[in-house]
Structure 1
Amino acid sequence: MSETATAYPVPFQIDRTRAPRVHRLVNVADESVLGIRISLLGCGLLVPVATDRLEPGEALSLSVIAAELTQNAIAVVRWFRPTREEFLWRFSF
């Protein structure tokens, strides 16, 4: 019988204190996240976001331009763990 892996919690929290124009993606995990890419699906514009590494406690600012962002857009976050496993997560505004 093989051992099952435990669930991996999403390592991010969204700080919306400067919304609707700026959202911050905060690494709340105990490990670094690597190769982060964020894209926007739906109405609106997202200033391209990419970074090689986000340490625990660090944050990325997302600048968003859209008239009806809260109803029509989803951000997709792609990253790697230090083990090089790839993950995707999405959130709405």
Structure 2
Amino acid sequence: MSSHPPAYAVPFWIDRQHAPRLYRLVHVGDENVRGLRVSLLGPGHLVPVFVPLLTPGASVTVTVVGVDLSLGTVAVVSWLRPDGEEYLWRFSF
């Protein structure tokens, strides 16, 4: 029987209070993340997001502009854990 490391919980929570144009990505994890980027798949535009270091409890605002986001637009969040491993997480609007 092989041993697997425990699952890594996504360390973010999305505050949608000012949706559909502003979303706050809140770091609810317990370790620093580096190189955080957010990009869009689908119609719409995103004010560029790159954060070199995001500490637990900190947040970043994602601003979306453009077309109707109900047409299948998805945000992709990427970041590096302290060990350098890259992770991707998607959320829809």
TM-score, normalising length from structure 2? 0.93
Which residue pairs with 2:65 in the alignment?
A: 65
After TM superposition, which residue ranges in structure 1, 4 or more long, deviate above 3 angstroms? none
Which residue pairs with 1:11 in the alignment?
A: 11
Partner amino acid, structure 2, of 1:68: D
Total equivalences in the alignment:
93
1:85 and 1:5 map into 2 onto residues whose CA distance is: 14
Cα offset for 1:2? 4.5
The secondary structure found in structure 1 opposite 2:10 is coil
Cα RMSD of the aligned pairs, angstroms, is: 1.1
2:78 and 2:31 map into 1 onto residues whose CA distance is: 16
Cα offset for 1:70? 2.9
Cα offset for 1:21? 1.1
2:71 and 2:27 map into 1 onto residues whose CA distance is: 25
Cα offset for 1:66? 2.7
2:70 and 2:57 map into 1 onto residues whose CA distance is: 26
1:68 and 1:90 map into 2 onto residues whose CA distance is: 18
Bigger CA drift: 22-31 or 64-73? 64-73
Listed as ranges, the gaps of 5+ residues in structure 2 are none
Cα offset for 1:68? 1.1
Listed as ranges, the gaps of 5+ residues in structure 1 are none
The secondary structure found in structure 2 opposite 1:89 is strand
TM-score, normalising length from structure 1? 0.93
Q: Percent identity?
A: 54
